[in-house]
Amino acid sequence: MLTNECTEIYPYFTFQRISEKKLEEIQKILEMEELEEKKEDPRLLCKQCKNIITSQENAIFINGNHLHIFTNPSGVIFEIGCFSIAEGCINHGQPTFDFTWFPGFAWRFCLCSNCRNHMGWFYQSSTEGSFYGLISANLIKGGNP
C-alpha cells in the first residue's frame, strides 16, 4: 500500500499493476528500439569527398564471393567488393575485355560523381548482367557526408 508521503509526490494514476507477460512485451519493445538506434549506417562513402557511393545493402556475390583481391598488369593489388548498384559513381571509358578479372565481363572505370576519384570498375556482360567492383580502400562507412 502506498503511503501518504509517496502519493503526495506521485499521484495514484502513475502506478499501474502490470502482468509479467506485459512486462516482457515492454522489455522486448525497448530492446528492439535499442537495436534500431545501434544499427550501423549502411552507406558507403567516397573516402576523398564523403559523397555517398552505394550501400552495404547493395553488396552481392560474384563467383561465390563479395570481396576479391586482384593484381592489375602493373602489379598494383586491389581488394574490391561487388555491388549491384553504385549511384554515386559515373562510368568512364569504352567497355573492354582486356585484362578483365571476371571472364565474360567487359569493364569500364567508375569514378566518384562528385570528385572524380577512381572508385573501381563497372562490369557488364551481354548474358550475365552488370555490377560494380569497388575498391575497398577508397570507401568509408556511413556517417554524415
Give CA 73 to chain center in angstroms.
Answer: 30
Nearest to 128 by CA among 86, 94, 100, 91: 100
In tens digits, what is the pLDDT along the chain, a chain of 145 residues?
445 555 556 555 556 677 888 777 877 887 777 766 656 789 999 999 999 999 999 999 999 999 999 999 999 999 999 999 999 999 999 999 999 999 999 999 999 999 999 999 999 999 999 999 999 999 999 864 4
Give the pTM: 0.72
**Running DSSP on this structure, what letter comes out for residue 72?**
-
Rounded to 10 degrees, the C-alpha dihedral 52/58/64/68 comes to 0
Q: Which residue has the cell 577512381?
A: 118
What lies within 8 Å, CB to CB, of 115 at 6+ separation is 46, 48, 49, 51
Q: Which distant-in-sequence residues (6+ apart) come within 8 Å of 105 by Cβ?
A: 97, 123, 124, 125, 128
Q: How far apart are CA 53 and CA 59, in angstroms?
A: 12
Beta strand 118-125 pairing with 89-96: unpaired
pLDDT of residue 25: 83
Closest CA to 78 of 43, 126, 110: 110
Q: Which of 22, 24, 101, 113 is nearest to 68 (CA)?
A: 101
